[in-house]
Amino acid sequence: MKTITNTLLIAAAVVISGCFPQQQCGKATFEVKVTDFAAFPDDGKDDRAAIVAAIGACRGRQGAKLVFARGRYDIDGGPMGERRRRQPSLDIKHINNMTIEGNGAELIGHDYSTMFHFTECQNITINNLTVDWNPLPYTQGKVVEVNDEYVDIEVVAPFTAQAGRRTEAILGYDLERRRMARRYTDHYQKGYEKTSEVVRPGIMRLFIGRQDRFAGALPPVGTHIIARHQGYGYQALQFVKCSNVRIENVNIYSNPGMGVIGSICRDIFIRHLKVMLRPGSGRWMSCTADATNFPGCRGTLVIENCLFEGMGDDATNIKSGHYSVVSERVNDKTLSISRGRRGGIPPVPHIGDRLELSGEDLVPYTTVTVKSVKRNEEKEALIVEFSDKLPERAGKGDIVGNPSSCPSVHIRNCMVIRNRARGFIIKNRGAIIEDCYFQDITASAIGMNADINVWWESIGSHDIIIRNNHFVDCRFDPDVVRGIIECLTNVGERRSPPGVHQRITIENNIIQGSGADGVKIGSADGLVIADNIIDGIEDCTINIYDSRNIRITGNRVTNSSAALKTDGCETDTIKLKNNIGL
């Protein structure tokens, strides 16, 4: 471990720099250089402890700036915690008014451990930093043998065949088009412990056998795959209960999980974030999971001028959180509420939050205001008292969503290319997505989904504007729901009536090519599809079901096999005008 002298522990220089919106400009900044704590770039030594010490010197300092020198820093994982999981490498708690200035520094993670983990911090800025991993959390190769017990791959550079690595997921890859290919395989076996073997030079054996509900078809011989050794769980940047977070000019080339998570945060601003394949590396994947994910946030979320490339999952997933379930009606103003998907105590709503109650169709029948909340550990539930008297129908089995835990979202001038799964998932109230480019995404480019069948992610999407975007060859692999822009309600075998999703506008977009539907919308009340150019759709150009109050105007459709389909809609509320090709 590097020696840190008492003199270095107090070494810092005061400089004048920029400020957060909540601060007064012109205040002095307390500058802390990681090199003063013996974190030297390019020396090949573990810099974690030295950087942790430098972070400690920032505590309690108004406007502290943690400064890296340009170069490479090696970061081992944090201490081993419960269930053989490492704690975060750089764990930052209760520090406010802090800037991390990377100056082009590159941080290389060496273990399955979150790189930066911020908890209950305010006014945090991260600038000019790159994150990567070594060894990479996946291996790419060509299938040379497959049976019921294993898949053998001829490993493709820059990787080498390695023994002792788990296989949590196997994903097909289209080498000719340089994009993910779920049609070959999308096989999950999360947590499967049997590790790889090297059976002959350059040939790596990946064992299979753990069959869960996401286990899919195995790849044929001759196809190319990506084997993810760690799919989820460890982030490059994670923020929990933080406010006023700013990320700018940050590159994430790889990490064993998601790139950026903001969980139960307020006001996040992201500009010039690049989650991408490392240039010149020959890699096929960047993050093994989502590029970004934002559950239960509030205030404002801005994502602009960003690149999301080659992820193993979505570019972003913005959601209120998860639906909860009423476990008991206590009295006329009080409900016992439990987590919906796996049981347990759900996130605690704020006093004054407006919760929506619905049946299993997810159409809210009332909204009630939270007056008080208590935890019942024995019953694994929240006891929530409301200011309002509950409707007579409110009771056990009702679905609970929290629209108060949704930020105002603005995504503009971003690019999403060559990733598995979806582009932007918007389960939110109030969002604008504009001037973005989407290409070679296996599933939907933009999805608005409410679900109590698989993930239980909430909430129904309201007031969403999708405009001036360009979509090229998205949703090219088969899946259950089939739309480049799609809006659905997943409640199992049932169908939901209009009203789960409200006031959706899709205008002035260019949509080119798909193996599925161009626009597929269900359970919506208030839908505008206007002035879009749609070309080369294999299935239905516009497919609307179980919806009402629909205006379709000024669209131009060419080279599509089927133009417009409506099923279960209130036909007298559909207005069509000045369309070509519909």
Give the pLDDT score at 26: 45
Asked whether 407 and 294 are in contact (CB, 8 A), the reply is yes
The kind and range of the H/E element at 48 are: helix 48-58
Tokens of 448: 């608005």
Residues 6+ apart with CB under 8 A from 396: 326, 327, 328, 329
Give the pLDDT score at 28: 56
Give the pLDDT score at 10: 35
The kind and range of the H/E element at 466 are: strand 462-467
DSSP 381-394: EEEEEESSPPPTT-
Angstrom CA distances, 466 to 292, 513, 537, 557, stand at: 19, 18, 19, 18
Asked whether 193 and 165 are in contact (CB, 8 A), the reply is no
Asked whether 402 and 429 are in contact (CB, 8 A), the reply is no
According to DSSP, residue 9 is labeled: H
1.10.1220, 2.60.120, 3.30.420, 2.160.20: CATH of 6-135+232-309 = 2.160.20
Asked whether 469 and 435 are in contact (CB, 8 A), the reply is yes
Asked whether 547 and 523 are in contact (CB, 8 A), the reply is yes
Which own/partner pairs from 79-84 qualify as long-range (CB within 8 Å, at least 24 positions apart)? none
138-228 matches 6-135+232-309 in CATH topology: no
CATH topology of domain 138-228: Thrombin, subunit H (2.40.10)
According to DSSP, residue 403 is labeled: G
Q: What share of the chain is helix, strand, coil (3-state, %, to 5)?
A: 5, 50, 45
Tokens of 334: 């009080």
CA 168, chain centre distance (Å): 19
The amino acid sitting at 517 is D
Asked whether 238 and 263 are in contact (CB, 8 A), the reply is yes
- What residue spans define the domains of the chain? 6-135+232-309, 138-228, 322-404, 440-457+471-577
Please state whether beta strands 186-188 and 169-174 pair in parallel, antiparallel, or not at all (unpaired).
antiparallel
User: Residue 84 in 3-state DSSP?
Assistant: helix
Please state whether beta strands 203-207 and 574-577 pair in parallel, antiparallel, or not at all (unpaired).
unpaired
d(CA 537, CA 518): 6
Secondary structure tally for the chain: helices H, strands E: 2, 51
d(CA 296, CA 283): 33
2.40.10, 3.40.50, 3.30.310, 2.40.50: CATH of 322-404 = 2.40.10
In tens, the pLDDT along 308-318 reads 999 999 999 99
DSSP 471-519: EES-S-S--SS-EEEEEEEE-TTS---TTSEEEEEEES-EEEEESSEEE
User: Residue 45 in 3-state DSSP?
Assistant: coil
Alpha helices (H) in 218-353, listed in sequence order: none
The length of the chain, given as a count of residues: 582
Sites in the chain below the pLDDT cut of 70 = 1-28, 210-215, 478-481
